[in-house]
Amino acid sequence: METNKMIQVELMETAPGLASISREHPFKLPEHYFEKAEVAILESIKINEAAKEVLLSENKEHLFKLPANYFDDLPGSILYKIKEEEINSATSKKGIVRFVGKNKWWMAAAASVLIVISLSIFKQAAVPSFVSTINNDTTYLLLESASALPDQMVVDLYLESQATTFTNSVIANNEVNYLMEAADLNNEYINSL
């Protein structure tokens, strides 16, 4: 009671406007809330306790059965498995080494053949794509040296440019025309071939 008065005096000094307002609040409760809440709290506690009892119950270890002497035999069987795995992995490593050791000349020859075949396939596949992506600088160089090219090569380039699309041909049609000029060749000559 003394505290109430002290709090009121303190409030009068700090915030007299607030001190003059009633402390009643606007919050309401459902009917018989506290009685029901008490029951609900005790119910939740009982449920929690029951769950805890089940979890801590000594019976839990009897829910599952074990083979006779399971735990006595367990360390031995684990060690046996570990050793077995160690032996297996050592054997498989040795096997690989022995195979390679015995057949190293035969394997080296096979690898060489494989490399040669792969390279020839790569060369065949790579050349067209390389030629088709020939850039402008390369074309310029080709034109620069056109007079030095054999006539037949220039003719072949011309025929190829006529037979293929722009993107697939070695050089573009107009570039072939320059090439032909540079090589002192003309359409009449080509037609006469």
Partner 1 sequence: MSTSNSLLQEQQIISDQEILIAFNDASKKEKAFTWLLHRDQKKIYWFIRRMVIDHDDANDLVQEVFIKVWKSLAGFRGESKITTWLYRIASNLTITFLEQKKKKFSHIELSEGDDLKEKLYSGTYCDGNKIQMKLQEAILTLPNTQRLIFQLRYYDELKYEEISEITGTTVGGLKANYHIAAKKVEAFIKETD
d(CA 134, CA 128): 10
Of the candidates 30, 67, 101, 150, which one interacts with partner 1 according to CB under 8 A? 30
d(CA 10, CA 3): 10
18 lines the binding site for partner 1 (CB under 8 A): yes
Of the candidates 32, 34, 75, 76, which one interacts with partner 1 according to CB under 8 A? 34
106 lines the binding site for partner 1 (CB under 8 A): no
Tokens of 83: 């050793």
Nearer to partner 1 by Cβ, of 48 and 88: the residue is 48
Report in angstroms the alpha-carbon separations of 10 from 6, 19, 109: 6, 9, 102
- 161 in Cβ contact with 176 (< 8 Å): yes
d(CA 99, CA 116): 24
- 169 in Cβ contact with 177 (< 8 Å): no
From the list 17-25, 95-103, 128-136, 161-169, the region that binds partner 1 by CB under 8 A is: 17-25
From the list 19-27, 55-63, 113-121, 130-138, the region that binds partner 1 by CB under 8 A is: 19-27
Of the candidates 27, 64, 71, 105, which one interacts with partner 1 according to CB under 8 A? 27
29 lines the binding site for partner 1 (CB under 8 A): yes
Backbone Cα Rg of the chain = 49
Q: Which residues bind partner 1 (CB under 8 A)?
A: 3-4, 7, 11, 14-18, 21-30, 33-34, 37-38, 40-42, 44-45, 48
